[in-house]
C-alpha cells in the first residue's frame, strides 16, 4: 500500500496538469457580487456553510466564473487533504499513538492506493475517488477504541471529506452549465491561463 503523502502528491500533480486546460464559459454578466455568486453556488453543495467559508476569501479571483470556482474549490480540498496526509503520515512514524493494532491498521488504510489511478479520465471521477478514499479512512476508525488519536484523525478526515464533496458539487455544476450552454447557443470555451 502507498503512503498518504505519495498518493496525495500523485493526485495533486494529476489534478494540476489535468485542470490547466479546464474551459471557462464565455463572459456572462451577472447581477450579483462575487461573494453572492459563491454563496449561491455553495447552496447546491452538501455542506453550504463550510463551502462558503472556505471559498469566500477567493471571491476576487473567482468573480462569477464557474470554472475558476471549481478549480479553487479543488485546490482548497487538495490543500486540506495534503495537510491531513502529512498529519497521518507523521502519526504512523510516531510511537506515541500507542500500540493499538486497530488504530495502526486504520492509519495505514487512510487512504488505500487502489483508489488513485492515473488512468482516470476526468476531474469528476478523481473527485469522486478522493471522496470514496476519505470515506475509507473514516470507516477504518469505526472499530478503534475512543481516544484522542481517533478523534483527531476522524475530525480531520471528515473536514477533508466535506471540502472534497463541495468541490465535486461545484465541478459537476460547472460541467452541467458548460454542456447546457454549449448546446443552447453554441458557446465557445476558452482555456484558463
pTM summary value: 0.56
pLDDT by 10s per residue, the chain, length 193 = 444 444 554 555 555 444 444 444 444 445 679 899 999 999 988 889 999 999 999 999 988 888 788 888 888 887 777 777 677 767 766 644 555 666 666 655 554 333 333 333 345 566 666 666 666 666 776 777 888 877 887 788 788 888 888 888 887 776 666 656 554 444 444 333 3
Q: For 171, list phi and psi in degrees, rounded to 5.
A: -65, -45
116 phi and psi, to 5 degrees? -100, 105
Domain range summary for the chain, segments of one domain joined by +: 4-191
For residues 166 and 160, what is the distance between their CA atoms, to the nearest angstrom? 10
Cis peptide leading into residue 111 (ω within 30°): yes
Task: Find out whether 14 and 118 touch, Cβ atoms under 8 Å.
Answer: yes
DSSP H helical ranges for the chain: 4-19, 34-42, 48-55, 59-62, 66-93, 101-108, 123-140, 148-185
Cell numbers linked to 104: 495502526
186 burial level (CB within 10 Å; 0-12, 13-18, 19+): exposed
Decide: 150 and 141 in contact? Cβ < 8 Å. yes
For the domain made up of 4-191, give the CATH fold.
Answer: Butyryl-CoA Dehydrogenase, subunit A; domain 3 (1.20.140)
Supply φ then ψ for residue 190, to 5 degrees. Answer: -115, 160
Gap between the Cα atoms of 53 and 76, Å rounded = 11
Amino acid at each position: 500500500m502507498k503512503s498518504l503523502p505519495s498518493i496525495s502528491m500523485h493526485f495533486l500533480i494529476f489534478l494540476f496538469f489535468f485542470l490547466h486546460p479546464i474551459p471557462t464559459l464565455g463572459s456572462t454578466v451577472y447581477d450579483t457580487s462575487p461573494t453572492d455568486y459563491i454563496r449561491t453556488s455553495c447552496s447546491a453543495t452538501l455542506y453550504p456553510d463550510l463551502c462558503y467559508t472556505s471559498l469566500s476569501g477567493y471571491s476576487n479571483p473567482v468573480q462569477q466564473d464557474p470554472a475558476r470556482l471549481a478549480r479553487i474549490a479543488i485546490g482548497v480540498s487538495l490543500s486540506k487533504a495534503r495537510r491531513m496526509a502529512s498529519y497521518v503520515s507523521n502519526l504512523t512514524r510516531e510511537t506515541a499513538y500507542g500500540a493499538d493494532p486497530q488504530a495502526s491498521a486504520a492509519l495505514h488504510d487512510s487512504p488505500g492506493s487502489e483508489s488513485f489511478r492515473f488512468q482516470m479520465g476526468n476531474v469528476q471521477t478523481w473527485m469522486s475517488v478522493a471522496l470514496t478514499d476519505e470515506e475509507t479512512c473514516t470507516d477504518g476508525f469505526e472499530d478503534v477504541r475512543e481516544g484522542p488519536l481517533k478523534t483527531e484523525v476522524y475530525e480531520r478526515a471528515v473536514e477533508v471529506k466535506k471540502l472534497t464533496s463541495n468541490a465535486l458539487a461545484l465541478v459537476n455544476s460547472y460541467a452541467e452549465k458548460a454542456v447546457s450552454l454549449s448546446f443552447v447557443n453554441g458557446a465557445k470555451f476558452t482555456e484558463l491561463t
